[in-house]
Structure 1
Amino acid sequence: MLKTYQYKDLTPADIQNLIRRNTDPNNAIQQTVETIIQDVVQSGDDALIGFARKFDQVELSKLYLEKAEIEELAMTISRDQQRALEIAFQNIHKFHSTQLRRERVTETMPGVKCWREVRPIEKVGLYIPGGSAVLPSTLLMLGVPARIAGCKEIVVCSPPQKSGKINGFVAYCLLLLKIDRIYLAGGAQAIAAMAFGTATLPKVDKIFGPGNQFVTKAKAMVQGMTNVSIDMPAGPSEVLVLADHTANPAYVAADLLAQAEHGVDSQAVLVSTDEKLLSAVNKELTQQIDDLPRREIAAKAIENSYAVLVQDLAEGMQFSNHYAPEHLIIESDSWQTVTNHILNAGSVFLGHLTPESAGDYASGTNHTLPTSGYARSYSGVSVDSFVKKITFQQISEEGLQHIGSVVETLAELEGLQAHKNAVSIRKK
């Protein structure tokens, strides 16, 4: 059952406490991750093999699978499963292919032309979680925009299964993406390996992918230790459902549980205008959770979740913008009235028939999204995440006559004589 709060009774401090999640107050996670990173930097492949033994309970003879092994594993899944992955691939590709656009040249003054051109990030690292649930959909979400962007080298890491291999679903996605090698490393150690490189794993320029708190912390730390960048802080998953009296309590409960089954540190928040709906949803949660194979995980996540009772949808959106959810579901006949008020959210699902799981798998949008309130300042993964936009300018003789004196004046007032001379010498 969700603990319920009355929004009108919450102080600003109460709200800040309520929306805080996935904290590390004693720095226990940071200390663990620091040790893992140091081990990978010092011992490279040996450290990765040791961590596979410790965390994955598997003895690896090598740290990767190549094309022949990938093809063999891919053929172990049914044709229906292959077809589902193909449709998801096609929809994701269709949505993301519209994001790569060429920009126009702008003439800011006569003879002064400026523009931007897109270049792919050359080496990218994709982290595919594989703890309590292996996520082939994440490989599609990261691999498709990387391919569209034109990245020259795509390094994929995922934890090995007990067999020392990967499952057939991930393997089939690798075939769809034309990726011929996958590295068998998970957790913070995989992030460290991609950031620093080992004898086997190449160092990359940017690391992508969601994960648990250890993975998220490792991404943040290696970005500060190297010249490797990251996509965003994308940690334990979360959803906020905004629902009114028109919502179906069974749908709402199903959406909350869909998020809760990700992991015990996931969070599912219900914000509602209707007290009767809250009661009905709690009843549905009790009934539906018993049928889930991952009910113990979901139950613990629900224990860490809550509901907020608001006066109307507008007030509900106020709380949602404070929370800045990774996923926002608006289950109301009147969803059109509040979309303009959405300021902070990773991905939004509108109406009664748009479950978040559609976006997780196959609608086409990307499911690698900012969590823990980072939707206030980060966007989800897109083709833009895999490219750099380089600015260009070209000045003609006419352009130099127009802009030269402006640059000379500004350089002089800043006391930078060499800057002024670079223009003056050309004007002569």
Structure 2
Amino acid sequence: MVLDPTPSRRTVLKVLGATGVLGSMETASAQPQQDPDELRLFSEQPVDNAMEVVAQDTHAYVATGNGMGIVDWRDPNRPELVADITASEPSDIGGDDEGGVGGILDVKVEDDLAVMAHNGGTGITTVDVSDPTDPEELAFHDAHHVHNAFLKDGYAYLTISESDENTFSEARTDIVDVSDPMDPKKIGEYRLADDFPEFAAGGVSPNHDVYVQDGLLYQAYWDAGVVVADVSDPTDPELVAQFGDAPEADTPQPDPFPVERYYAGEGNAHYVQPSPNGDLTFVGDEKFPSLLEEDPDTGKYGGIRIFDTSDWDDVEQVGFISPPDVNVGLRTSHNFDVTQNRLHTSWYNGGVRVYDITDETDPEELYFYDSEGYSFWTAVQERGFTLGGIYGARSDTHAGGIAFLHTDRGRNRSPSFEGSAPPERPELDPEFDE
């Protein structure tokens, strides 16, 4: 990638959108076990230009830049690409063509509905996936600068990062009622400037990604850290907490906009996800120092910060997962998936890795998959498998797709759980004396 030494802020945003980019107190660094096991590769399914991958039961949904692919993996040894659609022009499905289609970097699915987010375009497309072999585009919802989206309980949450000169004054989450996917309607929003005007004016606080759980909206606002809002009434979100902001996140930025602040500054809260019970929140910091240095192995890549969020009035960082110590290409944190005791994550050229987070202050690397020449955009857990989204644009030897991975390598081992809570304790014999 060639960077303009004096880019305009609008140019920076376009570059960041195209690459999927849009400090940290290291308390307890994750030290890999001496010999973490390699994940077993069951199979691969090519999907050209794959980016975000999400899974629901026996199907995986893949953002492909210009649309969405759907993979049937009922048999993980023999997955099959059963659908591959190209997003229609917005005006063809009820939208406005002013912003064009944009790049489809993100897809989400809930039950029979999927949405494709038009990064750099003008909104989202709703898609009927009740028959995964024959997805049907339903409608287009006009918005602006949608980088990522989330679907929960009939609502779509859209990251909006409109800007004004050198600020992200319009950074927010739009909440869209998609209960009638033929007629999506915006019903509410959470705007960063309403509660944190100094961050919105600071210039390095786009809304990059969101996650919704138990009526709470978790928003990754880059240098402004994580902002959590109560969306139990989606028409009227209310602030719950803010944490993890970078030093000087409220400082206005000079013109021309300092691109290095985006790529390798302190902060860079890129992705956020809570643990299933909400007591912990994981924040991935995406940093690309090698894009600014002649030596690709210099600089500090982004890891994953772990916060104790059991008490919203007393949030504190309690752990940290360091980037993998491998000298190949980009190796910063990207997207991940959290269960009660495991974290499955992607590190671009650093592979896919699984960590034991039972002790959040001292996470341990358990398993990895790191095939030479591959770059990974995401890692998600489904049906006991780890699905690694192979990012074709950054892979030297692959055009993109999904790697289906598992910890089972034919050896006896103690069982582990991957659910929302630890396994129930077996009932004891009443005559047994503890």
What TM-score do the two structures reach when normalised by structure 2? 0.25
Q: Point out the structure with max Rg over C-alpha.
A: 1
Give the number of the structure with larger relative contact order, counting CA–CA contacts within 8 Å between residues 6 or more apart: 1
**Greater helix share, structure number:** 1
In terms of fraction of residues, the more strand-rich structure is 2
